[in-house]
């Protein structure tokens, strides 16, 4: 793991202690979670739209689901309209 990917040791100890994971595994999990949530709103919308479309979802369903998911992300993306979502994906 590169030096820049080392999460705070107190967080590693906490996660390891509450999950029973070894500290090196807990550190990798923390780094993965941080990377997941570091994704920008635009990157998230594009990725999720592509995923949902590949699973056969219609755009109307995809926009509703994406907007709901964005509202629940730890760092709130703020409320977005279907039009804003379409602009992110299609420009």
Cα–Cα distance measured from residue 8 to residue 53, given in angstroms and rounded to the nearest whole number: 38
Residue of 55, 54, 56, 53 whose CA lies nearest to 86 = 53
Backbone φ and ψ of 40, nearest 5°: -70, 165
Residue 8 tokens read as 């705070």
For the segment 3-59, what is each residue's pLDDT rounded down to a tens digit? Answer: 457 899 999 999 999 999 999 999 999 999 988 888 888 999 999 999 999 999 999
Backbone φ and ψ of 14, nearest 5°: -65, -50
Crossing angle for the helix pair 41-54 and 59-72, to the nearest 10 degrees: 140
For the segment 70-84, what is each residue's pLDDT rounded down to a tens digit? Answer: 888 876 566 788 999
CA 84 centroid distance within chain: 19
- pLDDT at res. 79: 78
């Amino acid at each position: 793991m590169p030096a820049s990917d080392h999460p705070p040791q107190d967080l590693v100890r906490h996660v390891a202690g509450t999950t029973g994971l070894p500290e090196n595994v807990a550190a990798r999990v923390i780094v993965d979670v941080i990377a997941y949530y570091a994704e920008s709103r635009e990157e998230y919308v594009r990725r999720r739209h592509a995923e949902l479309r590949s699973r056969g979802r219609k755009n109307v369903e995809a926009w509703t689901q994406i907007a709901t998911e964005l509202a629940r992300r730890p760092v709130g993306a703020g409320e977005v309209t279907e039009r804003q979502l379409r602009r992110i994906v299609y420009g």
